[in-house]
């Protein structure tokens, strides 16, 4: 079957992945330890992270530090350790270098790069945020699963998850997971 590309995306109830200014304040209001454990568990089943430039810069800034010195819950420390050690492939038309350990800029076009990665041996690949990358890979038929973390908040406007996606994308709900914070993960396979 090969490696899968899995999108793990936090979204508002009204379908936004971030506020207009890329803010994620709404996301942290409902974040808790059980969700941190679930995030680390999901990442533990993958071995490569795919990122767009904006998400890469934000995550590198937040997570690229010595996890031992971080004043965070144990679950965040586990996640930080994995993030820092996993290979990260960055798709950006504007970046010329990446400095977060185990990161590399993709040299080929996104379709060729991800198709090649899917053919290699290994665990699945996961995408966090990176709306443009998610849209591009969805259009190319290279996304296998969506794990949509729906937060019980409406922000009215912001950055939509799917932008400029033509046609219908049929999905099959295979699992749900509910957290005490009211966040629900909807697990979808691409039909």
Q: How many domains does the chain have?
A: 1
Read off the pLDDT of residues 142-158 as tens digits, 9 standing for 90 and up: 999 999 999 999 999 99
Which residues make beta-bridge pairs with 160? 16
Residue 176, Cβ density class (10 Å: 0-12 exposed, 13-18 middle, ≥19 buried): exposed
CATH code of the domain covering residue 46: 3.40.430.10
pLDDT at 55 (0 to 100): 87
- Can you give the residue range of the structural domain that contains 158? 5-190
Read off the pLDDT of residues 112-143 as tens digits, 9 standing for 90 and up: 999 999 999 999 999 998 888 999 999 999 99
Q: In this prediction, what percent of the chain has a pLDDT beyond 70? A: 93
Give the three-class secondary structure for 129. coil
Which residues make beta-bridge pairs with 177? 185
pLDDT at 161 (0 to 100): 84
- H or E element in which residue 30 lies: none
Residue closest to 92 by CA, chosen among 60, 63, 121, 124: 60
pLDDT at 73 (0 to 100): 61
Cα 100 to Cα 47: distance, rounded to the nearest angstrom:
16
**Strands (DSSP E) found in 41-141:** 46-52, 88-91, 103-105, 124-128
């Amino acid at each position: 079957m090969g490696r899968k590309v899995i999108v793990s995306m936090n979204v508002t109830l009204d379908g936004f992945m971030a506020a207009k200014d890329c803010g994620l304040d709404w996301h942290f209001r409902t974040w808790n330890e059980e969700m941190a454990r679930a995030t680390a568990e999901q990442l533990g089943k993958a071995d490569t992270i795919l990122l767009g430039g904006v998400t890469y810069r934000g995550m590198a800034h937040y997570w690229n530090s010595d996890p031992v010195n971080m004043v965070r819950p144990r679950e965040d420390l586990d996640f930080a350790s994995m993030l820092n050690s996993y290979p990260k492939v960055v798709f950006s038309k504007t970046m010329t270098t990446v400095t977060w350990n185990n990161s590399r800029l993709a040299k080929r076009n996104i379709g060729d790069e991800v198709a090649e990665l899917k053919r290699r041996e290994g665990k699945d690949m996961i995408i966090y945020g990176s709306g443009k990358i998610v849209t591009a890979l969805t259009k190319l038929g290279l996304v296998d699963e969506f794990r949509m973390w729906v937060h019980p908040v409406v922000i009215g406007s912001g950055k939509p998850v799917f932008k400029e996606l033509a046609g219908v994308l049929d999905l099959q709900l295979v699992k749900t997971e509910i957290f005490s914070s009211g966040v629900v993960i909807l697990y979808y396979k691409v039909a």
